[in-house]
Amino acid sequence: MQSKPLLLGMLALCLLSCSETKKMDTTHSLFVGTYTNGASEGIYKFTFDTSTGELTNRELAAKLNNPSYLKISSDKKNLYAVQETADFDSLGGGVTAFQLEGGKLKLLNSAGTAGTHPCHVSLSGDGKLVASNYGGGNVSIHRLNPDGALGENPQVIDHKVLDTSKTSHAHMAQFVGDKLFVADLGLDAVKQYQEKNGKYTPAAQPSLDVIQGAGPRHFTVSASGKLYVINELNSTLSVFEKNASGEYEEIQTISTLDPDFEGKSYCADIHLSSDGKFLYGSNRGENNIVTFSVDETSGKVTPVGWESVRGDWPRNFSLDPSGKFLLVANQRSHNITIFSRDQNAGTLEFLSEVQMDSPVCLEFLD
């Protein structure tokens, strides 16, 4: 028979082990993309604890010029970053592929995006990457090699030729099924492309137009297929749904600003909660996060409230893997602010902040 002290020791060891496992399960790596025209040197990595909301252990993950937007692959094996410049090569900016090994970044390769100032990157899930060139007015579609490295000879879709009276500014592109949606801030439209024989060409409904001067910047698609577009220049949200013939129709346009706000403001980012019940957007100028509730049947939204970001010029923001927190990258005030999120009401409450020079993009490694 084992002695009582030995049994107590084993029990204590088990409790300690379980406690450590529980703590490990609540921590996630957060990668931060930045502008490097100040003190920042590239991509940074933090540890975020979903049991406390603490953001700690800042370290430089990779030196890179203006990695303003990041995207991690769904299998967590690769991270991609744009280089938002005009001089990566003779055509403009670039995109860089990294391999993720034990949470560390290992450089694979870089490639030009065929346009200046790429500001967004997204992945298809089946071996394609698309970069949006704000200054170039085009998007570049890259095939990925089996190890995640960027392949050669990307397809380039040029928006400058679509409208001679406006200046194209491709701001976000995302693969949606077998289609590619591109939000073009300068053309006041979300363009649709269909993949055919390995190339993307205009879809049957090639353009979803918003009011002139709205400036569509980012968008998200709900599980039910509703399309939510946040418009930078007139601070509105546009909601689209498919009609009986399968074409998108706009069913709602609503301001993102508090009715009491006076002044200039410009929208930036947009995200749905994982349950689809709440939609969030960032306002630069008013410097807050707007919360909308989403009607389960119609998909239309209703304002819930506005929460100050405790900073200046909120760009990208992110809901953490647990859904209990929302983190905001405040570019001009050089800080990341952390909010707890009421998952039933959708509301936000400020918790804390950490200093970070020119943060732009927040990407969790789940």
Q: Which residues pair with 94 in a beta bridge?
A: 83, 112
Q: Note the pLDDT of residue 23.
A: 46
- CATH label of the domain that carries residue 75: 2.130.10.10
Count CB-CB contacts under 10 A for residue 305. 14
Give CA–CA dist 271/281, Å, rounded: 7
pTM to 2 decimals?
0.93
Q: Note the pLDDT of residue 366.
A: 82
What confidence category does residue 18 fall into, taking pLDDT thresholds of 50, 70 and 90? very low
Q: Note the pLDDT of residue 238.
A: 98
**Domain contains 176:** yes
Q: Note the pLDDT of residue 24.
A: 53
**Domain contains 45:** no
DSSP notation for 19-75: HHHHHHHTEEEEEEEE--SSS--EEEEEEEETTTTEEEEEEEEEE-S----EEE-TT
**Domain contains 174:** yes
What confidence category does residue 21 fall into, taking pLDDT thresholds of 50, 70 and 90? very low
| Element of type H or E holding 13 | helix 4-25
SS (HEC) of 128-172? EEEEEECCCCEEEEEEECCCCCECCCCEEEECCCCCCCCCCCEEE
Q: Which residues pair with 340 in a beta bridge?
A: 325, 349
pLDDT digits (tens, 9 = 90+) for 316-334: 999 999 999 999 999 999 9
Residue 7 is given by DSSP the state H
pLDDT digits (tens, 9 = 90+) for 23-71: 458 999 999 999 999 999 999 999 999 999 999 999 999 999 999 999 9
Q: Which residues pair with 284 in a beta bridge?
A: 266
pLDDT digits (tens, 9 = 90+) for 82-94: 999 999 999 999 9
**Domain contains 123:** yes
The candidate with the shortest Cα–Cα distance to 246, out of 291, 196, 183, 192, is 192
- The answer to whether the CB of 94 falls within 8 A of the CB of 111 is yes
**Domain contains 150:** yes
Q: How many domains does the chain have?
A: 1
User: What length is written for the chain?
Assistant: 366
**Domain contains 322:** no
**Domain contains 235:** no
pLDDT digits (tens, 9 = 90+) for 183-219: 999 999 999 999 999 999 999 999 999 999 999 999 9
Domain holding 80, by residue range, is: 64-209
**Domain contains 84:** yes
pLDDT digits (tens, 9 = 90+) for 152-179: 999 999 999 999 999 999 999 999 989 9
- Averaged pLDDT, 74-82: 98
